[in-house]
Amino acid sequence: MDTRHDANPQDRTPLDWAAIRERLEGERGPRYWRSLEQLADEPAFADFIEAEFPSVAPQMDRRRFLQVMGASLAMAGLAGCGKPEQGVPYVVQPEKIVPGEAQWYASAVTFAGYAQPVLGRTHVGRPTKLEGNPEHPVSRGASTAFTQAAILQLYDPDRSQAPRYKGVHSTWDSVQLEASTLAERLDRQQGRGLHLLLGASSSPTLRRQLGELLQRWPEARLYRHEPFEGDHYLAAERAFGRPVETHYRFEQAEWVLSFEHDWMGAGPRELPHAVRWGERKRRATDGEGEARLLVVESVPTLTGAKASERKRIEPDELPRYLQALATALGEGAGPAEPLPAERQRWIESVARELQARAGRCLITAGERTPVDVQAAVHRLNRQLGNVGRTLYYTDPVVWLDVGEQRLDDLPALVEAMRAGAVEALFMLGCNPVDTAPADLGFERALDAVPLRIHAGLYYDETAANSHWHLPLTHDLDGWHDSRAADGSVCLGQPLVRTFYSSRTLPELLALLQGDLNPSGRAELRKTWRALDEAAWRRALELGFLPDTALAPVEVSAGPIAWETPPARVEGLTLRFLPDPSVWDGRLANLGWLQELPKPITKLTWDNVIGVSPALAEAQGLANGDRVRVTLGHNVVVGPVWIMPGQAERTLSLYAGYGRTRAGRVGDALGYGLAPLRTAAEPWLRRGAALARTGERQPLATTQSHHIPHGKEIIRSEPRETAYRKAADKPTVRAEPRKTLYPSTPPNEPVWGMTIDLEQCIGCNACVVACQAENNIPVVGKEQVAKGRAMHWLRVDHYYTGDPAEPESSAFQPVPCMHCEQAPCEVGCPVNATVHGPDGLNEQIYNRCIGTRTCASYCPYKVRRFNWFDWTGDDEPSIQHQRNPNVTVRSRGVMEKCTYCVQRITEAGIAARIEDRPVADGEVQTACQQACPTQAIVFGDLSDPGARVLKGRDTRRHYALLEELGTQPKTTYLGLVELPKIGEGKA
Amino acid sequence: MSRADADPHYPGADTPHFLPRQMPLGEVSDRVLAIPVDFAPYRRAWWALFIFSCLLLGLFVASAVVVLWRGPGVYGNDNLVNWGFPILNYMWWLGIGHAGTFISAMLLLLDRPWRNSLNRLAELMTIMAVVCAGIYPILHLGRPWLFYWSAPYPNTMELGPQFKSPTAWDFFAVLGYLLVSLMFIYIGAIPDFASARDHARKRRYKVFYGLLALGWRGASSHWAHWRRAYRFVALLAIPLVFAVSSGYSFLLDLAPETGWHSTVFPPYFVAGAIFSGFALVIVIALGLRRFFGWQALITVRHLDVLGVLLLASGWMTAYGYFADTFIAFYSGKEHEITVTMARLAGPMAWSWWAAIFFNLVCLQALWWPQVRRNGKALLAIAVGVLIGMWCERWMLIIVPPTRDYLTSMWHSFSPTLWDWALFIGTFGLFLVPFCLFMRLLPMISTFEVKEALHRYRGGADD
């Protein structure tokens, strides 16, 4: 696999072993990171580590062998950074490396420019799982579905593995040759003709390098293209005269009013939003203020689903609602065309309530709403005194300029390309051929560029249209830095030696500038050379540079300037949205995400055209009918899906699909929406027509019924009574039932789980975390459609009320209930599912013969059967991702949630060694650990102080289907009903 | 009986054995025992039937290989309806298997000599049906090669079956039932084997039947022992009929699943089992009657009484439908009503209404003696009952999980090509041995018929 063109490692400087030893002696138990280079203060050592010993094996002499052995001895944690290529068993077991015991390293993965701080778990050198970095304020240990899936991307066998020239595999030597020729030419021209297009980035190193590049080649031009970033910087510029980043402090906001803003939903900043909102909800539960969310939106989103009140509007009505609100808050005149009386009253009541909570409320508008709407929201927040309390502004996290130069946008680049000004175009870490709106004609313009160089993780659509394709290193096997949502700088250190012959972006830029052997690590260190070694080392251990969060800036929003509303157009309004599972398509090749049921629709493996129930009725559409959406001369054909709560005359179209070069997983799924998008109107277009094609397309959903039958599945309590203690609520277990069987001795401990439905926002982080932790296979669209999805944990979604405008909706994560009286245990004829001594309902894979009686008997239907051999033909690289502590199941056996028994055992062993009981919170299930709102709590039900018991004595605590007498140990805290605005005091 | 007696069209209708009073004993032997030995008149038709059966068996083998090779995923089952076709067909076949033993053993103990014309074919049907049924729980397993783990055998793991599980009971039920049925038919056929041996002209037939006859010489001590053994096994078989058919109802019954968890299921399933079994007995009896021209041995009176039995057991089954449905509504439980409404009016309501139509509505034609005594009409109704019972199993087994407790999991079910192929193939598994039996065994218990003729001739003559 190693195709690197490294210099002969034997030429390298020998190590200063004395220094290493000296340092090692001083260090006791650093948890996250250990590097010999730090120890040795020897820059060349990093290179040595990269090359690692096996590559020198052929010419290994005795001295070399000893050196290598010595290295393996000393490389406590770093052995984790190497992927053994030839098995050389340890002669002497190195200290601190215990096979089977995981090593944790702090790192980060970036998404759309924002760093997601993580801890990476490695087993004998293999990264197997990511967790949120508990030290980082943005994460606090939580993570998102996208972050969880990053580990799979690291192992994706379809990642690009070597440079290509015109589609043919090439070498980095040739790249260097090309780069040096280009550099010479650019030097002559002052960089004229060099154009660089980047995705959003917050990397200080990249910015420094680009700054240096512009100093050398001042005529070079930089562009930015982040497909679904939205216009929030533009709006801030409109409101404040300069682009700023808006940071929401949801934990301080008792009332939140959101306009077309899916801040809980997938996106680069979803994590801090969810973490903060989770905290707000918790505080409200503890009696500290309220947590009320009001959402005005046209297309159903997670945020809308969690709103206590959701108002459905047509997108074009949005400015009128804002105007009405502004007027009610004393800003400007009302809308030219008044709102319906009932809505007007609602807005006025909301305005009154917000004013009553000035400084404790928050208004937000989506990044993709009209700029004047967003600017107005900035103004209104100022008027309400929220700035500095429930939100604050900082400089943009993602940099918009380098040196003097403001990064331009994609249309400007296309113009330059058309004008023939572009001699060499670098497209770094982006895929504009796929994501650019079709009206730009990016692909056509690109053809005219004499030298096109693409760098990316995959050989994608843009790569195929370029002369050169350079493989990028993944965030988890290369060095990088970038800022998290709060602006703090996260350091991404590799969890493993670079898999493929790839380079990081800083390495590429260095290479372009003539560095023949660029080192990502050295580039990074150069950026942060002000830090001394100790600080640098601590930063690596932590995963971020402390106290680098961006400081709030004082800005003041000017008065609202409304744009004239666009002329009314007949026809349907189109909204273009990123896909909640694969975003703009960059995650399309990840099976975990493709098979992840999308939060609202529970669809997998496809994107759809969302239509309102009324429109579906009028046009006679059913789910899966293929329709033709026409706007002007542009047409998109895709399957419809009826979305309760969608605006009547609005269609929602989701990006990320219709890809041709995503990889083996992501190709040829769904439809591409690019033809309908324009650069001028990338988020919303009016005047579309919809026609049935008469064809049908099978769609795979994991939940086809969203209306709960009866009130028992999702329970709710009015706020006044929800938190009251209920005497009859069993906190641990009901008293022993009458039974014919001998009673089982009481368990110690009794593991149980409490899931707070009020906290759960349905974000799916837990589902992917569970999949990553428990080696859950991906089964494919056809099998999902047959009802054979394998997720151990599913998040059910229910609506109540009228499908046209659902009153409320709820998410319910359903893992195994670990019933005390488990029907499955009765059903199994071969003792393959039994009650464990600590109350777990255990599944014994090698005893299971697959009668499926347990699954038939399970009222919760949480058991998953291996109908085929799902795992046998997995790619070797995918197999390496697997958690070695969890059995990979074969064909014909039943599986289900184990409460992450491997983690329980691990904690149990640690506790036994130290001769103490397992502490509360020491065992965290994968789902619990990932959950940004801490909706899932796991612990020992027999420990009176355990956090898992919190809320179990209140009225809103209930067990799912408790009337069946199964005595589940997973129980729920029901929803809290808030009175509607205007219906009595909240 | 006086009405039938008066009817000139049905000679012998007044005798307890339903045969003509003056029927010569030799004719019975000639008609039955001569068949395997002198098969020429039936050869052409038999080969046609046999080849057809072999094709079906081939389909079964092919499907079974596919299922075993690729895994149970080739079925239409999913994580919700995770039993589907295999268990449906298992219950259907097993139900059918019950009538044979019931007719044979029950009527033997009740001393109904007319059973003698039917018991052999009914018992053979039982065995083949149990084989067809028994193969399904193995083929439906995730890891079928480990099926024996549900048996209590000594092993180093010191693990045995989990006896609380009705799936473990099934193992014993099917195996026990198969063994007792085999014993019953074999013991019952020993005198006939001896008779066939004596009739045989070719050496190989003599050896074949001689071995099967276990040295039977017709001594009075043989008869005395035989009678005791036969009745003893019959006594064993009767409770087994009830135990096994209520036993497999527990497979559904013990699940806390609405639509399965119902106390009426054991008697309901016993009735249904006997009902469907009678239907297949009728089909086979009519078939053999025509094939071998046994109108004199399987008389119209036999058909008449089979029709009555079918009607009676049909009403018992209908009681199950009504009780189950009534209790669901009477309970007032929301989910009970949901599941029942799904059976009555859901997307799979066809299965409920087909069951009602075939098992109840069409059945009422049997109140008319003309229908019962009309072979074609009776055949049509019996085939209808078999279809109806299959639909009933669908309604019982497949519909409830599609309306499980949590609405989020509601999901439809549709069988795959292999589901159907395997099911159709089991008819081959049924028919191939049956053809061989037709070829080699006396399909009517001749000595019992003769004994009855003799007994009642004397009595009637008096």
ipTM: 0.89
Mark residue A241 as left, alpha or beta (left: phi above 0; alpha: psi -120 to 50; beta: remaining): left
The CATH T-level fold of domain B2-152+160-461 is Formate dehydrogenase/DMSO reductase fold (1.20.1630)
Q: Closest Cα partner for A590 from A388, A878, A326?
A: A878
DSSP line for B208-247:
HHHHHHTT----HHHHHHHHHHHHHHHHHHHHHHHHHHHH
Q: What is the pLDDT at residue A20?
A: 46
* Bridge pairing between strands A164-165 and A468-471: antiparallel
CB atoms within 10 A of CB A149: 26
Residue B56 in this model has a pLDDT that exceeds 90: yes
Crossing angle between the packed helical segments B84-101 and B220-253, to the nearest 10 degrees: 150
* List of chain B residues whose C-beta atoms are within 8 Å of the C-beta of residue A783: 73
pTM (predicted TM-score): 0.86
Q: Choose the mutation target among A739, A757, A796, A849 for the interface with B, i.e. most B CBs under 10 Å.
A: A849
User: Token pair 């689903």 is at which residue?
Assistant: A305
Are B246 and B269 within 8 A, CB to CB?
Answer: yes
Write out the H or E segment, with its range, that includes residue A877: helix A876-881
Q: Closest Cα partner for B56 from B335, B447, B429?
A: B429
Q: What is the pLDDT at residue A774?
A: 93
| Domain A572-701 CATH assignment equals 2.40.40.20 | yes
DSSP state of A359: T
Confirm or reject contact between A821 and chain B (CB < 8 A). Answer: no
Are A600 and A654 within 8 A, CB to CB?
Answer: no
Q: Choose the mutation target among A788, A831, A844 for the interface with B, i.e. most B CBs under 10 Å.
A: A831
Please state whether the peptide bond connecting residue A749 to the residue before it is cis, i.e. omega within 30 degrees of 0: yes
Identify the bridge partners of residue A841 per DSSP, sorted by sequence position. A835
Are A373 and A315 within 8 A, CB to CB?
Answer: no
Confirm or reject contact between A704 and chain B (CB < 8 A). Answer: yes
The CATH T-level fold of domain A178-229+399-542 is Rossmann fold (3.40.50)
Q: What is the pLDDT of residues B167-178, one digit of tens each?
A: 888 888 888 888
Are A774 and A964 within 8 A, CB to CB?
Answer: no
Nearest CA in chain A to B170: A829
Are A502 and A476 within 8 A, CB to CB?
Answer: no
| pLDDT above 70 coverage of chain B, percent | 94
Q: What is the pLDDT at residue A45?
A: 43
| Mean pLDDT of chain B, nearest integer | 85
* List of chain A residues whose C-beta atoms are within 8 Å of the C-beta of residue B141: 849-851, 892
Write out the H or E segment, with its range, that includes residue A626: strand A625-631
Q: Choose the mutation target among B70, B74, B82, B410 for the interface with A, i.e. most A CBs under 10 Å.
A: B82
Q: What is the pLDDT of residues A476-535, one digit of tens each?
A: 988 999 999 999 999 989 988 888 889 999 999 998 888 888 888 888 889 999 889 888
Confirm or reject contact between A680 and chain B (CB < 8 A). Answer: no
Largest CA distance in chain B: 75
* Bridge pairing between strands A168-169 and A164-165: antiparallel
Q: Where are the domains of chain A?
A: 9-155, 178-229+399-542, 232-394, 572-701, 716-728+753-977
Of the candidate CATH numbers 3.40.50.10090, 1.10.357.10, 3.30.70.20, 3.40.430.10, the domain formed by A716-728+753-977 belongs to 3.30.70.20
User: What's the token pair of residue A866?
Assistant: 């291996």
Q: What is the pLDDT at residue A728?
A: 61
Size of interface A-B (CB pairs under 8 A): 165
Residue B112 in this model has a pLDDT that exceeds 90: no
Q: What is the pLDDT of residues B355-396, one digit of tens each?
A: 999 989 989 988 988 888 888 899 999 999 999 999 999 999
Are A468 and A453 within 8 A, CB to CB?
Answer: yes
DSSP state of A579: B
Rounded Cα distance, B70 and A337, in Å: 65
C-alpha pair distances (Å), B326 with each of B6, B264, B320, B323: 44, 11, 10, 5
Residues in chain A predicted with pLDDT less than 70, given as ranges, are 1-91, 93-94, 96, 334, 709-711, 727-738, 743-747, 983-986
Higher-scoring residue by pLDDT: A27, B420: B420
Q: What is the pLDDT of residues B208-245, one digit of tens each?
A: 889 988 888 888 899 899 889 988 888 888 888 888 88
Residue B423 in this model has a pLDDT that exceeds 90: yes
Per the CB < 8 Å rule, is B161 touching A831?
yes
- From the list A705, A786, A826, the residue facing B164 with the nearest CB is A826
C-alpha pair distances (Å), B407 with each of A288, A441, B400, B413: 35, 47, 12, 15
* List of chain B residues whose C-beta atoms are within 8 Å of the C-beta of residue A866: 71, 142
Q: Closest Cα partner for A878 from A482, A591, A604, A660?
A: A591
Rounded Cα distance, A938 and A948, in Å: 5
Cβ neighbors of A904 (< 8 A, separation 6 or more) are: A751, A838, A840, A918, A923
Residues in chain A, overall count: 986
User: Token pair 């108002």 is at which residue?
Assistant: A311
Dihedral angle over CA of B229, B433, B239, B384, nearest 10 = -140
Q: Where are the domains of chain B?
A: 2-152+160-461
User: What's the token pair of residue B328?
Assistant: 């669901």
Residue B348 in this model has a pLDDT that exceeds 80: yes
Q: What is the CATH code for A232-394?
A: 3.40.228.10
Rounded Cα distance, A802 and A807, in Å: 7
Q: Taking a contact as any Cβ pair under 8 Å apart, which residues of chain A between 889 and 928 contact chain B?
A: 891-894
Nearest CA in chain A to B169: A829
Main-chain phi, psi angles of B302, to 5 degrees: -60, -45
* Bridge pairing between strands A975-977 and A970-973: unpaired
Nearest CA in chain A to B255: A857
Are A128 and A122 within 8 A, CB to CB?
Answer: yes
Q: What is the pLDDT at residue A70?
A: 44
Are A514 and A99 within 8 A, CB to CB?
Answer: no
**Where are the alpha helices (H) located in B71-213, listed in sequence order?**
84-101, 107-109, 119-139, 166-199, 203-213
